[in-house]
Every structure is written in structure tokens, then in C-alpha cells.
Chains A and B, each alone.
Chain A
Amino acid sequence: MTQLSIALEQINDSLRIAVAGEMVTQSLEAVEKGFRAIHPDADHIVFDLSGLGSLDTGGAWLICDLARRASAAGATVTYENVSATQSALLETVAQNIATEIPAEAPPRGFVPWLESLGRRTVGAGRDTASMLGFLGLTLHRLARTLVMPWRLRRAALVSQMEETGFKALPIVALMGFLIGVVLAFQGATQLKQFGAEIFVVELISISVLRELGVLLTAIIVAGRSGSAFTASIGSMKVQEEIDAMQTLGLDPIEVLVVPRVLALLIMLPILGFVADMAGLFGGALMSWIDLGVSPGMFVTRLKENTDVWHLAVGLIKAPFFAVVIAVIACWQAMQVKGSSQSVGQRTTSSVVQAIFMVIAIDALFSIFFSEVGV
């Protein structure tokens, strides 16, 4: 393969451009600058292609581009020693050469920034309205399912319960156990200073039962099941499966959303309870090892000083978390448009929003419970 090269020769008022070598896209790098540097200021431009090995559209583009610039400058362009196929290719490319390639870089500056800020603000408002609408729709379908239980997709419900609840048991239990261990360990170091080691029982039981058990379970479920909901329903949206359902007279909310919401409604309190128990177990174990609080003493003190209300206050929040996680995940899935990239973006926002909302609602509950005094 001969090296691609160009040679220029100025004879009177005509410029002779001799091209030699393989003029193909992958070797154009060598002559690109050379071609661009030619200023066709002669009256006649002659392309001599006698040394040309092969030519493809990329090479033809460079020649045609130069020819076009020359014609625009008022020169006449002729080709010499060009084969029939090469001339056909040059003609095809010349016909398709674009004078102006549309710019695709987005405009920058203060005004476009302001515009996009405005768009995002209005969009956020619309999103909130749309999500609340979706929440209402879902609650309506849930209520209808309660009145007409035969409409419930039992197989979907059970499989979702297994997926979101049963399979999450090990991770949730492990997390609860570790939280108990950490609390006991940290509490012990502080309480030892006052000789008040025995209060570690209250520290563990109240913080795990009231707050941490259910809250952290909800966060795990939001990451685990919320993302799964968005990704699976979102992919169905991309594949037009949701549209297909609608044309078949199936209600996507009833078929897809209700089983998921219901599954989380049932399973999240159970998971929260498991996390609570694992937390107490971890705390008791650590208190025994580190502080010498025997399991018997732990249980006695737990019974005496920790009201069962603490457990109830924690678990009451679970169904609310469940609805928030499932509705946000399903709503985000319904917002998926067109591409698979959109599925990824929506899955991310689904998890972030769900976790944020879970924490926000938890804070509201804290205020509420302290006001009513339980």
C-alpha cells in the first residue's frame, strides 16, 4: 500500500493537484491538513488521479470539498486520469455534500441558563402535580381492590411479596443486628463514664424500635425494590408494553402498580419488625460481651422500662413509607421516555427521591408524636 500523498504544481494560471496512494477514510489523517491548507486561487484546478490506488467516500469528500471551494472562488475544475467508478463515486459524493452541517452544541450564556432554570422550575411544579395525581389514582385503584378483591392479581402480588420482602429478609436482619451492635458499643463507651451502663438497654431499645429499625429498613427497601420497580416498569414503557396493555383493555395501574404497592404495604412492616428484633438481639449480645449486662437482665429491664408503644410508634410509619416508595418508583417508571438512558436516569431519581421522602416523612412523624406525647 503506497503512502497517501498530494503534490501541487502551479503552471501559469492553473493549479495541478496530483493525488497518489490509497485515499481511504482510515488513512486520510495524513493529508487532511494539506487539503484544507490549499487555497484555490488559480483559474483552473486540475485533479490528477493517475497515482490513486483506491478511493472511498471519505477521500472523495476531501476532493469534492476542495472542488466546491474552487468553484465558489470562480475557478474551473477538471479531473484527469480518473476511472469510471471513481468518477461515479465523486459524482455521488458531490451530490450529497452538505454545505452547512447543522450545529448541535447547545447554546451557552446567561439567557439560556435562565431559560433552563425557568423550565426546570416549571417542570418541578408539574412533576409534583403529576405525582400527586398518580398517588390519588393508585389509592383509588387500591380502594377499588379492597371493595372488589377478585380484581386483585394474586400471582403478581405473591411474586412481588417474595421479591421485595422475603428475599430482603437476610440483608434487613443483618443490618438490624449490626445497628444494635454499634449502638451498644458506642453507648457503652459513653455511659461507662457515668457508671450508668445499665441504661444501654433503654438507649438501644428506644432508638432501634422508635426510629432506626424501620427507617433504615425503608431506606434499604427504597434502594432495593424501588429501583427494581422503576427499572422493570420503565423498560416495559420503552418496549411499548404499557401501550400494548392499554390497547388490550388492561389498566397498567391495576396490573403493575397495585400489586407492587400492596406487596410493600404488607412486607415493609414485617421487615421493619424483623429489623427491630435483630437490633435488640445485636444490642443484647454486645451489652453482654462488652458491659456484662446478662441477657436475663437485658430482658427484665426491657420489659420494665420500655413501653410497647415504642414498637408501635416505629411500625406505624412502615405503611406510609411503603406507599411513598412504591408510588414514587412506579411514577418515575411511567415518566420514562424513549431511550434506555432515560430508564437509568429515572431509576436514579426514583431511589434518591424515595429515600429523601422517607426521611422527610420520618421527621414529620417525630414532630407529630412528640406533640401528641407518645
Chain B
Amino acid sequence: MDGAIQQQDTKAEAQREAVIRVRHLRNQFGPQVVHDDLNLDVWRGEVLGIVGGSGTGKSVLLRTIVGLNKPAAGSIEVLGVDVLNGPDADRRRIEKRWGVAFQDGALFSSLTVLQNVMAPLREHTGLSESLMRALGSLKISLVGLPQLSCGKFPSELSGGMRKRAALARALALDPEIVFLDEPTAGLDPIGAAAYDDLIGELQQALGLTVFMVTHDLDSLYAICDRVAVLAEKRVLVEGPIDEMTKVDHPWVQEYFTGPRARAAQQKGHDR
């Protein structure tokens, strides 16, 4: 009986393709160990939410996967390429296939929004200026910003608009994987819900894989296919959010069965 279930599981595993595969990752800053023996798989086409208390290294994990932070040990494969020890040429090829939206946007402050979105196109494609402008403006429209904001500088935008512009830049090359660091933090509930819908829509339309660090329970219930909980320096549990309430761990219990979680769950089911 057990064997049969296991077989079924492996069959299901074989059908899905891991676009990100993290193995035995160890991150430490001086004596402080952030991750120890952390394993994580992200499947193609899913929206994965990374949750965890403050200081559990959610952002560090994201930064490590995209190569901004060198881990002490472990291996990371993205789209089949070893991003830590593989050849530089492979790495650069992979960089064109992912997009990263940082928490505060990290837009280039000396460029306008449109120029920001065009920057990756300019760097990695040989398209004509007019087509790049057209594609840039399309991305800006896709993330729900008015065309008027094309010529604005990042300092002239509100926090929410900056987040959207950052997403537009992350989507510029039509990547397969999008990394989002707290995409809805600091947005008003309406704006946050709209952003969730936007990510959901884009994910459907463009077939994206989304790796999302978030604290927002509404986002988790609304768009995440799976949730990975970081605690005790590793991925404590991962799975669909409905299963999280059954996990026997004090932090997970408190997180997913608290009053805010119940409200978010209700809202998620109403959608």
C-alpha cells in the first residue's frame, strides 16, 4: 500500500520539471548560520511562496539563488545549469531567462521608467530602438501603469508604482522565472490585491514560474500554488497552503491558524 503511494508520487515527480534545485545549501555570515542543509525544489509553472519569521533568511535565499550572495556550501541548479560553479557563459545565458524584482524596486534612478524597462532589452537583444520602446511600453501597460509614467523618473513615483515598474523591468526579457522579494509589502490592501491578481494573470498568460518571498497571507492564499516555510535554518515544510494548518510545529501553527490567516483563508476561498 505504502509502496503504491510512493510509486505514484515518484511518477508525479517525474512529470514536473524542477527549474530551481537547491541542495544542502549552507549560508553563514561570520559565526551566524542562516541556512544549514537547506533543500528546495521549484517546479515549472508554479507560484511558490517563501514564508518565515523575520531573520530566517528568506531574502538571503533569494539573493543566493540569483547569485548575489555566495553560499558557504551546497549546490544550486537553475534551469539545469549549476549557477555556483558552472562556466560564466552558462550563467550569463541563465541570467537572461530570469527576472528579479527587488523589494524597493531598485530601479536605476538616473533613468526614466521606460528606459529602466528597456535596459535589459538594450543589453541582451539586437532589436531596433522603436521596437524596444514598444515592448517597454507594453510591459509597463501589462503591469498596470499608465503610459504617462513612461517618461517619469523613479523618484517621481509612489512606492506601489515603483514596485510595478520593477516588475515590468523584471519581465522585460520575458523570463521563465520571476523572483519577487516581498512584492506586496507596503502596498494598501486594494493595491496589494490588484498586484496579486496581476501576478496571477501574468503567470497564467506568460507561463511564468514565480518565486515569491512574502509575508502577505492574502497573497499566499490568492495566488501561491505551494508554500515553503523557512525555519530552523532550513525549509521546514513545503506544500499546498491548505496542508499547512496540519503541520505540527508551533511557528507554522501560529502563522497559518492565527486570526489574520483565517481571514485571509476565507477571502482566498471567496475568490
Interface residues of A, Cβ cutoff 8 Å to B: 24-26, 28-29, 32, 56-58, 61-62, 65, 85, 88-89, 92-93, 96-98, 100-104, 337-341
A338's partner among B128, B150, B155 (CB-CB below 8 A) is B155
Question: Whole-angstrom distance from the CB of A200 to the nearest CB of chain B?
Answer: 53
Q: Whole-angstrom distance between the alpha carbons of A339 and B174 in the complex?
A: 28
Contact in complex: B150, A89 (CB < 8 Å): no
Within 8 A of A (CB), among B195-218: 201, 204-207
Question: Whole-angstrom distance from the CB of B129 to the nearest CB of chain A?
Answer: 11
B205's partner among A32, A88, A339 (CB-CB below 8 A) is A88
Contact in complex: B174, A25 (CB < 8 Å): yes
Contact in complex: A26, B173 (CB < 8 Å): yes
User: Which 9 pairs, one residue from A and one from B, show the smallest C-beta to C-beta distance?
Assistant: A338-B155, A339-B109, A56-B174, A96-B141, A104-B151, A341-B110, A29-B126, A101-B137, A92-B205
Q: Whole-angstrom distance between the alpha carbons of A103 and B156 in the complex?
A: 18
Q: Whole-angstrom distance between the alpha carbons of A56 and B139 in the complex?
A: 12
Count of chain A to chain B residue pairs whose CB atoms are closer than 8 Å in the complex? 88
Instruction: Given A24-B174, A92-B201, A104-B150, answer yes or no on A29-B138 (Cβ-Cβ < 8 Å).
Output: no
Within 8 A of A (CB), among B134-166: 134-135, 137-139, 141-142, 147-148, 150-151, 153-156
**B155 (CB) vs chain A CBs: closest residue:** A338
Within 8 A of A (CB), among B97-142: 109-110, 112, 114-115, 121, 124-128, 131, 133-135, 137-139, 141-142
Question: Whole-angstrom distance from the CB of B86 to the nearest CB of chain A?
Answer: 20
B112's partner among A104, A338, A340, A341 (CB-CB below 8 A) is A104
A96, A100, A101: most-surrounded residue (chain B CB, <10 A): A101
Q: Whole-angstrom distance between the alpha carbons of A189 and B250 in the complex?
A: 87
A85 partner residues in chain B, CB cutoff 8 A = 205, 207
Q: Interface of chain A, helix or strand or loop or mixed?
A: helix
Contact in complex: A102, B126 (CB < 8 Å): no
Question: Whole-angstrom distance from the CB of B46 to the nearest CB of chain A?
Answer: 16
B96 within 8 A of A: yes
Contact in complex: A61, B155 (CB < 8 Å): no
B174's partner among A57, A92, A102 (CB-CB below 8 A) is A57
Binary interface profile of B, 157-200, with partner A (CB < 8 Å = 1, else 0)? 00000000000000101100000000000000000000000000
B147 partner residues in chain A, CB cutoff 8 A = 98, 100-102
Question: Whole-angstrom distance from the CB of A103 to the nearest CB of chain B?
Answer: 8
Contact in complex: A57, B206 (CB < 8 Å): yes
A341 partner residues in chain B, CB cutoff 8 A = 109-110
Contact in complex: B155, A57 (CB < 8 Å): no
Q: Whole-angstrom distance between the alpha carbons of A102 and B110 in the complex?
A: 18
A28 partner residues in chain B, CB cutoff 8 A = 125, 127, 131
B96 partner residues in chain A, CB cutoff 8 A = 26
Contact in complex: B150, A339 (CB < 8 Å): no
Question: Whole-angstrom distance from the CB of B99 to the nearest CB of chain A?
Answer: 12
Question: Whole-angstrom distance from the CB of A346 to the nearest CB of chain B?
Answer: 14
Ordered by A's residue number, 28 sampled pairs between the chains whose C-beta atoms are within 8 Å are A24-B174, A26-B124, A26-B125, A28-B125, A56-B174, A56-B206, A57-B174, A61-B138, A62-B131, A88-B205, A96-B138, A96-B141, A96-B142, A97-B138, A98-B134, A98-B141, A101-B114, A101-B147, A102-B147, A102-B150, A104-B112, A104-B114, A104-B150, A338-B109, A338-B153, A339-B154, A339-B155, A341-B110
B135's partner among A57, A92, A338 (CB-CB below 8 A) is A57
Instruction: Given A26-B124, A337-B155, A339-B154, answer yes or no on A98-B112 (Cβ-Cβ < 8 Å).
Output: no
